[in-house]
Amino acid sequence: MKGTTEETQLPVLRGEAALLGVVVVNSLGVQLMLHSGSGISAISSLPYAFSLVLPQLTLGTWTYLFQGLLVLSLMVLQRRFIPSYLFSFVVGFAFGKMLDVYDPWVSALPAGGLWPVVWFALGYGWIVVGIALSNRCGLPIIPTDLFPRELAQITGIPYPRIKISFDVICLSLTAGMTLLFLGRLEGLGIGTVAAALTMGKAVGLMGAWLDRRVRFVSVLTEKNRKAALQ
C-alpha cells in the first residue's frame, strides 16, 4: 500500500509525450550507431541491408516497409484486424521517416579519431532511453519491438527465446544479403555484439531509474483504469 501511495505522488509524464520521445531519440540513436562504424542494432539491420542492396529506397522507407510486414504477419497469425497494430505501424512509419531526416546531418559529423567511440556511446544511450520509455508509455509501440512480444503471447514460447531468435534471424539475413550481393559484410560489427549482450541490462537499469522518478499515464491506461472501476 505504501508503494502505491508513493507511486501516485510521483510526477506524471504523458505516455503520448514519451512515445514521441521514443520516435525522436531511437531513430537518432540508430543513425549515430551506424555512423560510428561499429555496427547497427539487430532490429534495424535487415532494413539497412535492403537499403544497401536496393538503394532506390532509403533506410527509412525500408524500415517502415519491414515493420508493415511484421504487423501484417501478426494480424495473419491472429486471424483478425487489430486496430492497435495499425497504430503501431503509424509509429513505425514516423520512426522510419525520422531516420531519413537525421541521415544527412549525422553523415556530416566527424568520423576520425575518437569520434566513433563518442557517436557509439551517444547512440547506444539514446536507444536505451528510448526502449525504456517505450516499455512504459502505455501505448502501442514500434512494430520491431511489438512483434517478438506479441509472437511470444500467440505461440506460448517464452519471450527471451523469441527475442533472441528474432534478432539472430535478422542478423543472419543481413550477413547473408550483404555478403551475397555486395561481396562484403556490412552493418554488423563489435557494436552490434556489444549492444546485443548488454542493452537488455542497460534498459532495465534505465527503466528502474525512471520508475523512481516519474509515472506514465496515457489515454489507454486511463481507459483501462475507468473500466476497472465500473
d(CA 157, CA 159): 6
Contacts of 36 by beta carbon, 8 Å cutoff, 6+ apart: 116, 117, 118, 119, 120, 123, 191
User: What do you get for the CA distance between the two ends of the chain, in Å?
Assistant: 22
Q: Per residue in 68-110, pLDDT tens?
A: 999 999 999 999 988 888 899 999 999 999 999 999 999 999 9
Please state the domain extents for the chain.
28-216
Residue 54: per-residue pLDDT: 95
**Which range (38-42, 55-59, 164-168, 219-223) has the least confidence?**
219-223
Q: Per residue in 126-138, pLDDT tens?
A: 999 988 898 888 8
Note every long-range contact of 148-154, with CB atoms under 8 Å and residues 24 or more positions apart, other chains counting.
150/74, 151/74, 151/77, 154/74, 154/77, 154/78
79 is written with which cell numbers?
486471424
Q: What is the mean pLDDT of the chain?
A: 88
Task: Please choose, from the candidates 214, 221, 223, 220, the residue with its C-alpha nearest in 3D space to the C-alpha of residue 7.
Answer: 214
Q: Per residue in 10-56, pLDDT tens?
A: 899 999 999 999 999 999 999 999 999 998 888 899 999 999 999 99
Residue 1: per-residue pLDDT: 44
